[in-house]
Amino acid sequence: MRLLTVRAVNHTHSGLLRLKLEVFIFMASELKKDSLGFVQSLLIGIAGSAPTFSISATMSTLIAAVGILAPASLLYSGIMMLGIVLAYLFLNAYNPNSGASYAWVSEVFGLRLGFFAGWALLVASAIFMVSATIPAASATFLLCAPDLADSQLAVTICAIAWLIIVTFVVVKGVGLTAKIQMIMTLCELTILLIISCLVLAHLGSGFAHQINWQSFSPNAFDTTSFSSGVVIALFFFWGWDVSLNLNEETKSARQSPGYGALGAVIVTIVFFTAFAAIVLMALSDQEINRAGTNVVFVVADKVLPRPWNYLAVLALMLSTIGTLETSILQFTRTMFSKSRDGLLHRRWAKIHQDWGTPHIATFLIAMIGSALLILSLASKDMADVMSKSINVIGVQAAYYYGFAGLACVWHFRKRAISSVSSFFFIFVWPLFSSLALWWAACVTALTFDMVTSVIAIGSITLGFWPLMAGMKRIKQARIKHCAH
């Protein structure tokens, strides 16, 4: 039998009296501590951004939008993202909470804004169940049954199967997930590095596109190309913050997750920028368009004989499975934190006695993902599904990343003026990054078609119902506390 107690605590923050609800669920209340270290945080952060998957799923879309400026778009977007990483690093050092952006925004700007920062992550993670599992299924058929790789029904069924398999790995514990993740991520990065070196060695000066310093000039962009490139690039980098969602399960919870995420983003900036240049060097515009979501395989096919070119397919499978795992982790830990605070039903905060994971929330995301995959069959093709999901996730990621950056700026505003370095790293960089991400998201959202706009906006507004229910539960708990 589980015992639930509610306690209201008064505390003052920035001159305001706040009433914070703390929900303690005994006998099943804590995630398994000290399951991860710095290295695991670093590699899980890299896996969250999924280098091979992101390149395969999104590079053709990015090049179609900005052309030869794709490497520069990724570089500048990565620099902006580092401002958000710094915000996460400082906020985590202050308050390591598995809710990450939700918890920090709630403390700084109030529960309602915090709820929607977390809700955007939940929605993006749910939609990602579609855009992550489809490439994994396609890669599976490329290896085992090429004739089925273009069948939307077959790919959808296989995608659901992969989602179920990954769910059972994740639910068995973050320690097991991290061990599998480390092996997959190292193999994936090694394969990408080999392909890149072979392109440079084999093609010599006969490149399809010539990359020069002018291609990295800020003056080469106009407003539309820059904003489009930033939002698409957001999909590349999105996911590194999983390291912070696992902070309660990490040794040195105040330091390791933040520095692991910082290292992960620096590594992915290098890989994304370099491989964007490799793709442009190796493939013509027509080849990139035909490659679609198989761009890494097409590049590998240029420099590796069969069957060695299928190493690219293997890298894609490892990357996709890895980022699917990290998305499930982000979803479940955010739900756990929200439920622990009373904003969502307490069932989502229940921890399995043996596995030490929020198992009910894990099974929930698997069911949501399966349902969305079935609904995706109504779309005209897989490319259309991928394009819409990439745009929606990019805008929603910009939304909650921006809130976290501003939370850092406001919370540490007094500390920021203590030194020049603090002012730059705590205030200026996170503020610039937050505003730039929001601006790019707004400019790009105005170009969405009706269906994409409805998904992006409608999925966020759906959060009003659980928010109102959660606030009602908190109000009732406060009344009961005052009565006692």
Sign of the CA dihedral 25, 27, 30, 31?
negative
With a cut of 80, say whether residue 297 has pLDDT above it. yes
With a cut of 90, say whether residue 477 has pLDDT above it. no
Identify the pLDDT of residue 138: 80
Residues 431 and 105: their CA atoms lie apart, in Å, by 14
Task: Please tell me the least confidently modeled range out of 164-178, 203-217, 341-355.
Answer: 203-217
Residue 484: pLDDT band by 50, 70, 90 thresholds?
low
Identify the pLDDT of residue 385: 63
Identify the pLDDT of residue 128: 84
With a cut of 80, say whether residue 28 has pLDDT above it. no
With a cut of 50, say whether residue 20 has pLDDT above it. no
Give yes or no for a contact between 162 and 140, defined as CB atoms under 8 angstroms apart.
yes
Higher-confidence residue of 429 and 1: namely: 429
Taken in order of first residue, the domains within the chain and their CATH numbers are 34-483 (1.20.1740.10)
Residues 373 and 138: their CA atoms lie apart, in Å, by 14
Higher-confidence residue of 88 and 460: namely: 88
Residues 367 and 167: their CA atoms lie apart, in Å, by 10
Identify the pLDDT of residue 383: 62
Length of the chain: 484
Q: Average pLDDT of 354-383?
A: 83
Q: Average pLDDT of 302-331?
A: 88
Residue 406: pLDDT band by 50, 70, 90 thresholds?
very high
Higher-confidence residue of 340 and 175: namely: 340
Mean pLDDT of the chain: 84
Residue in this structure with the two tokens 């890149």, named with its chain if needed? 196
What percent of the chain clears pLDDT 70, i.e. is strictly above it? 90
With a cut of 90, say whether residue 336 has pLDDT above it. yes
DSSP designation for 36 = B
What percent of the chain clears pLDDT 90, i.e. is strictly above it? 36
* pLDDT tens-place string over residues 227-237: 878 878 887 88
Residues 208 and 172: their CA atoms lie apart, in Å, by 47
Q: Average pLDDT of 357-376?
A: 89
> Which residues lie closer than 8 Å to 203 by C-beta, 6 or more apart?
281, 282, 302, 303
Identify the pLDDT of residue 200: 87
With a cut of 50, say whether residue 380 has pLDDT above it. yes
Helix (H, G, I), strand (E, B) or coil at 9: strand
Task: Please tell me the least confidently modeled range out of 24-33, 58-67, 78-87.
Answer: 24-33
* pLDDT tens-place string over residues 88-129: 999 999 999 999 999 999 999 999 999 999 999 998 888 888
* pLDDT tens-place string over residues 410-454: 999 999 999 999 999 999 999 999 999 898 888 878 878 787 788
Class of residue 143 by CB neighbours under 10 A (exposed 0-12, middle 13-18, buried 19+):
middle
Identify the pLDDT of residue 2: 36
Identify the pLDDT of residue 483: 66
